[in-house]
């Protein structure tokens, strides 16, 4: 596992934007699961700013979700709405190359199986970029999630639902049910990048990097991945 410590949140966003652009430029048809939440927000802003000065062609990439809240979240997806507004709205990725979770499906288990099949048809995920939850969760894989878990419906812990609501860009009600890429799905990706910002993430990051590898710390599974990079700011990793 490679750990890159950035001076601050702004430098972290710069490093993440650099990596994102480099990966797409190097493989225009990149199959990538893209993050939502507060940490990636500044990265998306930088990507948009740089696109005006030095364009990258995003049109051939395949965009997948990390996770999504079930209703009563917005009909177009709580997390996917952010991805659409902050990235897809200007990146010109065709709709047919975008793969949001269909949380309005009558059978979420079947929808998640179909999602795994869509990833397989894409040749697998080239890159998963995600954040780190306060209790060590990755995507919506809460403590206790098996390391071989597939994409599936899950129940969020109350602390996770409360944490989502602390985002300054609130999008309405937060369900305690979600669908998520499984830890096994994430570990099969060819590359994983984790964005970690702020003093509140210091404890989770320590458990990711230095604690036991255990399902009680879902992020610790990433130490088993052959190509995982953690981008952290100094508040999270002094």
Active site residues: 67, 135, 137, 142
Helix or strand (DSSP H, E) at 232: strand 228-233
CA separation for the pair 176, 78 (Å, rounded): 13
Q: CB-based contacts of 71: which residues, under 8 Å, 6+ apart? A: 103, 104, 175
Q: Terminus-to-terminus CA distance in the chain, angstroms? A: 18
Provide the b/e sequence for 172-194 (b: ≥16 CB within 10 Å). eebbebbbbbbbbbbbbbbbbbb
């Amino acid at each position: 596992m490679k750990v890159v410590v950035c001076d601050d949140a702004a430098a972290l966003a710069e490093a993440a934007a650099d990596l994102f652009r480099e990966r797409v430029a190097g493989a225009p048809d990149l199959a990538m699961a893209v993050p939502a939440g507060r940490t990636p927000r500044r990265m998306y802003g930088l990507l948009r700013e740089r696109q005006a000065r030095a364009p990258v062609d995003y049109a051939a990439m395949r965009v997948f979700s990390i996770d999504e809240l079930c209703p009563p979240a917005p009909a177009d997806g709580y997390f996917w709405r952010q991805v659409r507004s902050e990235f897809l709205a200007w990146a010109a990725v065709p709709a047919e190359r975008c793969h949001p979770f269909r949380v309005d499906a009558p059978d979420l288990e079947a929808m998640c199986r179909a999602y795994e099949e869509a990833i397989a048809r894409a040749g697998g995920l080239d890159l998963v970029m995600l954040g780190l939850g306060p209790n060590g969760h990755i995507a919506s894989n809460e403590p206790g999630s098996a390391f071989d878990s597939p994409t599936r419906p899950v129940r969020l812990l109350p602390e996770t639902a409360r944490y989502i609501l602390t985002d300054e860009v609130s999008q309405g009600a937060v369900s305690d049910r979600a669908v998520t890429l499984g830890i096994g799905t994430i570990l099969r990706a060819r590359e994983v990048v984790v964005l970690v910002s702020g003093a509140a993430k210091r404890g989770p990051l320590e458990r990711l990097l230095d604690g036991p590898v255990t399902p009680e710390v879902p992020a610790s599974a990433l130490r088993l991945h052959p190509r995982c990079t953690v981008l952290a700011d100094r508040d999270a990793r002094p």
